[in-house]
Structure 1
Amino acid sequence: MTQAQSSNSIIPETDLNVFEDSEDADNHNSEATATRLSLQFQLDESFLGQRIDQVAAIVWSDFSREKLKQWLKEGHLLVNGNTVKPKYKCEGHELLTLETELEVQTASQPEDIPLNIVYEDNDIIVINKPVGMVVHPGAGNHTGTLVNALLHHYPKSAELTRAGLVHRIDKDTSGLLVVAKNLESQFSLSKQLARKSVYRVYDLVVYGNMIAGGTIDEPIKRHPVDRVKMAILPGGRDAVTHYNVKERFQHFTRVQARLETGRTHQIRVHFSYIGFGLVGDPVYMSRVRVPAGASELLSDTLRGFKRQALHAAKLGLIHPRTGEEMMFEAPWSEDFAELVNVLRSENAAY
């Protein structure tokens, strides 16, 4: 059973990631539902001289610039109550008003796929994603994804960009993620992520003896040759991971990591970079490393663990409507728990 709890207690400021990549959501005055959209945004001097279509794409980043230009031309997106052309240059004090009805935003089809729902209300769904489930349809994965399941569970999610997703976890990573059920919630959660105020903690098992916790602050970008991989490279996006040692074995370490940013493969790339690759990682570890003298049980367990030993264990956020600070927890998946138990019995520390 998935364990979840919500709390009115204040999450310590040092424990919250604080959010990135978008404008201040506090200026939004929204009465949005998943069908009828009614939004306002008050500009300030920071937007002086910028084209209105560029500004709108920053303010409402969940919509494409082309869609926003269309709404400008059709009179759904007004500046101080007036229709303007996309090339209009902002003076820095305008009031933007967006009134429209949302259309279906996804071509994906609903599928009756069971979801492990940790928490749900009228605004958000918190899901404990199983190992092997792709979050969003893509090349080679058009069905069987979390999006397909969401469209069946809550059909109005079809009217939201990415069916309400605001973040993802890898196919073979288990654990928690939050999904918005309306546009107001999607904006709020996206802004929280951009300010690094969503609390995301992962459990992982790495090769090697890690002595103490610390922080990895190294930029990440797409690998220049192997496009499946990400890499630590100059010019990459800022990426920060804080970590603590939770349990030591002879040849392995169980670690808990907190994401300050949320880059693709961030934990896997960061720990591989400092020499502590994740057990089972098929992308960043070239081979299974079985310690000399390992028991048959330990050897079989390591060779049979075919995915990165990574689990999104804790998720903390501010509820988009009530302002309540909420914390959710999900227990380890069965294979992760078995891996740790085998290490405890077959690779115990001296």
Structure 2
Amino acid sequence: MSEVDGGAAGWSRGTMDAEYRAGGLTDPEDDGADDAPERRSAEVDASGHGERLDRWLTGLAPEFSRNHLQALIERGCVTADGRPLAKPALKLRAGQRVDIELQPTDESRAFRPEAMALNVVYEDEHLAVIDKPVGLVVHPAPGNWSGTLMNGLLARHPAAATLPRAGIVHRLDKDTSGLMVVGKTLEAVTALSRQIAAREVHREYLALAWGRVEEPFVVEKAMRRDPVSRVKMAIAPANLGKPARTDVFPLGVGEVQVNGQARPVSAVHCVLHTGRTHQIRVHLMHSGHPLLADTLYGGVPALGMTRQALHAARLSFAHPITAEALSLRSALPSDMALAWAAVGAGDLSD
């Protein structure tokens, strides 16, 4: 088995694959010249008299969604006879000449290379393991169409554009730090995805949780999207959710003063058997031990933590091509390391 702490190497170049082209996404080698907005103009005829502006524009620019056209209206990109039209619901009059400046959608700009410093702890021609910092979003999504790990991978490894999701085979939450593996070839991505589905990629986390954890325990509760809040996940009946299991091991217990009262905080080692969204956060909350500063799931901030106290500390798997056993570790980031020391906890056990 290889136990690895660091190292990096270069990646080769590639081209955009059919998946991205079909989605209207741009080539990572595009120099941006195609981003120059196109202007279109048309006169409202009798059939368009009294029609809503946003609905009428879908005929002038049918390749764009109505939502995007509404956004362009609100940005001042649409004029009639030289005067801006700022309301999507505005009713048009026959004879008006409408001009629109067609700007690309945010989504079409998302899959672009963006140079960024990435901490690569292991790399060869088939895969790389990234130590993701706190605050880095993994994949573009509404509200985060740029500055993501995917953007960084496309800049570092242009051939990632030929791979599903640029080689990303699993994710970490924005404010969870630690290790992620990404594939660099289709063969590696396919094999890694199968290993994850077969639960052959072992992911271990360090966490700080409210309450006293002095004995190991297992949480085996199915999960699903919260039916009330779509940004959250929730425990579900087995017939309505996806199976999920987390093993929790104690590493130490300390006390924190909150509003003049001492409250116990536990350092724990969590082992995932499944990889559901927010799994550790939801399972620990369900067990009465929400993570420090995980405000989405009832965890009060403490010990200087302003994000959920969760770190992907170890990643172990068989190399998808060579079958070599790999085990990689990541040290706690500074914010969590300080909180960890205040609890007086031990390290991740072997």
Normalising by the smaller structure, the TM-score range is 0.5 to 0.7
Aligned to 2:231: 228
**Offset of residue 318 of structure 1:** 1.0
What SS does the corresponding residue of 2:292 show, helix, strand or coil? coil
Match of 1:196 among 195, 199, 219: 199
Which structure has more relative contact order (CA 8 Å, sep 6+)? It is 1
- Ranges of 4+ aligned residues in structure 1 off by more than 3 Å: 33-37
Aligned to 2:315: 315
Aligned to 2:216: 213
Q: What code does the residue aligned with 2:253 have?
A: R
Aligned to 1:76: none
Q: Relative to 1, partners in 2 of residues 1:286 and 1:305: Cα closer, same or farther, differing over 3 Å? A: closer
**Offset of residue 117 of structure 1:** 0.4
1:8-59, Cα deviation, whole Å (9 max, x unpaired): xxxxxxxxxxxxxxxxxxxxxxxxx97799xxxxxxxxxxxxxxxxxxxxxx
Distance 2:109 2:272 in 1: 29
Residues 268 and 284 in structure 1, CA contact (< 8 A), matched pair in contact too? yes
1:138 has 2:141 as partner: yes
Residues 212 and 244 in structure 1, CA contact (< 8 A), matched pair in contact too? yes
Distance 1:324 1:122 in 2: 14
Aligned to 2:157: 154
What SS does the corresponding residue of 2:196 show, helix, strand or coil? helix
Distance 1:35 1:148 in 2: 15
**Offset of residue 287 of structure 1:** 3.9
What SS does the corresponding residue of 1:268 show, helix, strand or coil? helix
Give the number of the structure whose alpha-carbon radius of gyration is greater: 2
Task: Count how many residue pairs are aligned between Structure 1 and Structure 2.
Answer: 242
1:147-194, Cα deviation, whole Å (9 max, x unpaired): 010001001101111100000000000000000001000000000000
Q: What code does the residue aligned with 1:343 have?
A: V
Aligned to 2:332: 332
Distance 1:139 1:150 in 2: 19
Q: What code does the residue aligned with 2:117 have?
A: P
Q: CA RMSD in A?
A: 2.6
Aligned to 1:249: 254
Q: What code does the residue aligned with 1:324 have?
A: E
**Offset of residue 304 of structure 1:** 3.8
**Identity among equivalent pairs (%):** 42
Match of 1:176 among 176, 179, 188: 179
Q: Relative to 1, partners in 2 of residues 1:110 and 1:244: Cα closer, same or farther, differing over 3 Å? A: same
What's the TM-score once normalised by structure 1's chain length?
Answer: 0.65
What SS does the corresponding residue of 1:257 show, helix, strand or coil? strand
Aligned to 2:306: 306
Residues 15 and 161 in structure 2, CA contact (< 8 A), matched pair in contact too? no
Match of 1:283 among 282, 292, 296: 296
**Offset of residue 343 of structure 1:** 2.8
Residues 291 and 299 in structure 2, CA contact (< 8 A), matched pair in contact too? no
1:85-124 superposed matches below 5 A: 108-124=111-127
**Offset of residue 107 of structure 1:** 5.1
- For structure 2, the residue ranges without an aligned partner over 5 or more in a row are 7-12, 24-107, 256-263, 346-350
1:185 has 2:188 as partner: yes
Residues 202 and 272 in structure 2, CA contact (< 8 A), matched pair in contact too? yes
What SS does the corresponding residue of 1:175 show, helix, strand or coil? strand
**Offset of residue 106 of structure 1:** 9.2
Q: Relative to 1, partners in 2 of residues 1:113 and 1:157: Cα closer, same or farther, differing over 3 Å? A: same
Distance 1:344 1:254 in 2: 9
Q: Relative to 1, partners in 2 of residues 1:130 and 1:5: Cα closer, same or farther, differing over 3 Å? A: closer
1:90-144, Cα deviation, whole Å (9 max, x unpaired): xxxxxxxxxxxxxxx9951111110000011100010000000000010010111
